[in-house]
Amino acid sequence: MEEWLLLRSGAGSSALNMAIDEALLLHVAELGYPVLRFYAWSEPAASFGYFQRHAEVAAATGLRPLVRRPTGGGIVPHGNDWTYSVVLPPNHFWHRLKAVESYRRVHEWVQGAFAETGVAAELASEARREVQGQCFAGAEQFDVLANDRKIAGAAQRRTRDGLLIQGSVQPPQGVKREPWESALCAWAAKQWKLRWRDWQVSRDIATAAERLARGKYASVGYNERR
């Protein structure tokens, strides 16, 4: 069985949340194991894609603070959503997948977890962009839909250090987060023969994340760089 690390970070600031994901990406090769991280937001915020223009994002949403993600994609509102990240080392087969294939794979996983909790969800067969730059205003191919509404999207970054996938779920009514997270782990254990190990970040990774939070993700210069 393949072993993955399970990290439950709890609620954090927008800057720290992005910093932990990047720190995990930078250190995942040393860890040697994939990481699934669940986390929340200590205040309402919006994250936006690495390549988006800050001025356009600021005009499109009233949510503050705004934080630029290390991944691509559009504007994602945070506060009531369920956020997670998947971080894989460069020797893992997910790292060799084309972007569309890893995107589909992670959303088949999310869809499977919703099925376990009694929610009938499906993957979008094609893109349906309605509002430019806003992640949940339309849908990309292979996003997760329920009742014809997008409920889960993700963005990726693939480097020589590894693969980072950042996902957000806008949950349908009647579904609780804890059972869904348990279902996500159970589905992967069953379908992919994974074994989960509860894990906390090392001091080195925590220090790197704190440095990135202060010097990058909380920085006006970084968030408004374009």
Residue 91 belongs to domain spanning: 2-223
- What's the whole-number average pLDDT of the chain? 95
Q: When comparing pLDDT for 220 and 1, which is higher?
A: 220
| Token pair of 68 as six digits | 């630029």
Q: Distance between CA 155 and CA 147 in Å, rounded? A: 23
Residue 136's pLDDT is 64
What is the share, in percent, of the chain residues with pLDDT greater than 90?
90
pLDDT tens digits, 129-138: 655 555 666 7
- In sequence order, the 6+-apart residues with CB closer than 8 A to the CB of 70 are 18, 21, 22, 25, 50, 157, 164, 166
Mean pLDDT of 58-74: 96
> Is 80 exceeded by the pLDDT of residue 122?
yes
Based on the residue annotation, tell me whether 185 is a catalytic residue of this protein: no
> Is 90 exceeded by the pLDDT of residue 185?
yes
Confidence of residue 125 (pLDDT cuts 50, 70, 90): confident
pLDDT tens digits, 136-160: 667 889 999 999 899 999 999 999 9
The CATH number of the domain where 27 resides is what?
3.30.930.10
Residue 130's pLDDT is 58
From 7, 24, 66, 135, the catalytic residue: 135
Domain tally for the chain? 1
